[in-house]
Amino acid sequence: MAGASNPDHVEPVVSRPSRHRSRGSDTVSPAGSRVGGSSVTLPLSRRERTASLKAGAAPGSVSAGRASSCRSPNLGEQPLRPLVSTSIGSGKASGSGLRSLTATATPTPPTSQGVSIKHLGPGAAEILPLRAGTPFTVSAFQHIGDRKSQEDRFTVVPQLEPSNDGMPCAFFGVFDGTVGDFASESVKDLVIPKLFESPSWQALRQLPPARWGDQDSLVEGALREMYRSVDESLLERCSQSTQHYSTCTSVTLIVVGDMLAVGHLGDSRLIVGREVPGDAAVLIGEQMTVDHKPDQDSERRRIEQCGGMVERLVNHCNKPFIRGGDFTMRKALGEQPMQLQYSRAFGAKDLKIFGLSSIPDVKVLHTAGPDSIRVRFAILASDGLWDVLSAQDAVRTAQQAVSEGASPAQALVARALLDLSQRQAKSDNITAICVHFD
């Protein structure tokens, strides 16, 4: 959720609700994963997080801590019926109580297995390591950090569509909201329908074996068409709801057979852990996306050509922000125009005319064949994680968690929270998805 600024705005101190403990029951997901024990009640204060993790908590775990007294009656472990797509939107504390954590599902093909979602408290959710008849295991973990609300959203679809040739087909996405959660909440509901509607995806589904060489271009085309269509729909929603600056970053991964197709906007990232040739035990962390920042030459050029500006803000450590050409006029009229720390994103309709772009960077790589790299991990996360961990740190943490039988996604978030606590620094919302390939 980092990235928006109102020069006159000072972030208030988050008030902490009264304490109580909560325990959940043990359940078993349809896929056989165990979910249960003490539910994790979050957020913890930085001091409590440090004490809890130093006291012997496993690298992939966070001990129970401070809980909100505003609890939704349906919080706790909630095994869902078998489904192929799970989109999670976490709640936020308010005077009227906690909005329920939600999950939406697309129709399930006959071969799909269950996804069990563990809700951990305000703004926190988890998918324990899941293997749904695929050549990979996926886990997800989300934490509110020191923010008042959870503006991240994520989508996990281990089996995207039935495949006639037996190739795995999956979709994963992380969406980091700014100026509220309107954009990220909308985008996580739009991505899969818009992907299925795209002409390139429909052509891919009907592709005969003799033309499988066209898969790369069709998947890349489907990603670009999906991003364009999602942004058009979101901008229409923003206009109808007067959400003039609501926006979100995006990082998505489509898996088709041995192909990995990555699309992204903004500063959410995807990294891979690849094997070193000749030594499968050694993994190298490699960043597959490059953050879109307003001061990059090509980004600044586009912004200025559209009448926007790039300004460095002293009260934000001199970081560059995109600002609309009407910024001064709106301030004079008593409005609160926003500025963004990234130059490409979904939404933010009042900055689109000033050069904010929704055209994603897309990269396609293969993990099989003589010239391919052997990928063991793909990690998608919001900037709350990448502000703390390097690509190599993330791969090493995930690898250790797998060797210990822990959730790599949870281990990544716990590692970031511990590092921030030791620095006495505040934590942003953090969401991580870890895909572990065989």
C-alpha distances out from residue 117 to 27, 40, 264, 374, Å: 11, 13, 25, 30
Question: Can you say how many angstroms the Cα of residue 176 is from the centroid of all Cα atoms in its chain?
Answer: 6
**Residue 389 and residue 186: Cα distance in Å, rounded?**
28
Average pLDDT over residues 46-64: 39
Question: Can you say how many angstroms the Cα of residue 46 is from the centroid of all Cα atoms in its chain?
Answer: 23
Q: Please enumerate in sequence order all residues whose Cβ is within 8 A of that of 117, keeping only pairs 6 or more positions apart, or say none.
A: 78, 79, 80, 86, 88, 101, 103, 125, 126, 127
pLDDT at residue number 166 = 63
Supply 317's token pair: 């450590």
Three-state DSSP string of 286-309: EECCCCCCCCCHHHHHHHHHCCCE
Please count the other Cβ atoms lying within 10 Å of the Cβ belonging to residue 51: 15
Q: Residue 42 pLDDT > 70, yes or no?
A: no
Q: What confidence tens digit (pLDDT) does each residue in 376-406 have?
A: 999 999 999 999 999 999 999 999 999 999 9
Q: Residue 140 pLDDT > 70, yes or no?
A: yes
Average pLDDT over residues 301-320: 91
DSSP assignments along 92-122, one per residue: B--TT-PPPPEEE-PPPPTT----EEEEEET
Residue 388 · residue 421 · CB < 8 Å: no
DSSP 86: E
Residue scoring higher pLDDT (93 or 206):
206
14 beta partners? none
| Residue environment code for 365-394, b if the CB has 16+ CB neighbours within 10 A, otherwise e | bebeeeeebebbbbbbbbbbbbbbbebebb
Max mean pLDDT range (7-16, 129-138, 222-231): 222-231
DSSP 161: S
Residue 364 · residue 261 · CB < 8 Å: yes
**Residue 10 and residue 197: Cα distance in Å, rounded?**
43
Query: DSSP E strands: which ranges in 93-224?
Result: 102-104, 116-121, 124-130, 136-143, 152-157, 169-178
Three-state secondary structure call for residue 198: coil
Q: Would you mind telling me the total number of residues written for the chain in this entry? A: 438
How many angstroms separate the first and last alpha carbons of the chain?
Answer: 33
| Backbone torsions φ then ψ of 117, nearest 5 degrees | -105, 130
By mean pLDDT, which of 1-10, 151-160, 293-302 is the weakest? 1-10
Residue 391 · residue 380 · CB < 8 Å: no
Q: What confidence tens digit (pLDDT) does each residue in 315-344 have?
A: 888 899 999 988 888 888 888 788 899 999
Please count the other Cβ atoms lying within 10 Å of the Cβ belonging to residue 131: 16
The overall average pLDDT reported for the chain is 76
Tally DSSP H helices, then E strands, for the chain: 10, 23
pLDDT at residue number 134 = 85
Per-residue confidence at 163, pLDDT binned at 50, 70, 90? low
Three-state secondary structure call for residue 207: coil
For residue 43, is the peptide bond before it cis, meaning its omega torsion is within 30 degrees of 0?
yes
Q: What confidence tens digit (pLDDT) does each residue in 352-385 have?
A: 999 999 999 999 998 876 667 789 999 999 999 9
Residue scoring higher pLDDT (339 or 172):
172
Average pLDDT over residues 256-268: 94
Whole-model pTM: value is 0.76
Q: What confidence tens digit (pLDDT) does each residue in 57-116 have?
A: 443 333 322 222 222 223 233 332 223 334 444 443 322 222 222 233 333 332 223 466
pLDDT at residue number 26 = 31
DSSP assignments along 291-356, one per residue: ---TTSHHHHHHHHHTT-EEEEEGGGTTEEEEE-TTHHHHHHTT----EES-SB-EE-HHHHTTT-
Residue 397 · residue 365 · CB < 8 Å: no
Select from 355, 384, 398, 365 the least CA-distant residue to 263: 365
Select from 35, 40, 39, 28 the least CA-distant residue to 128: 35
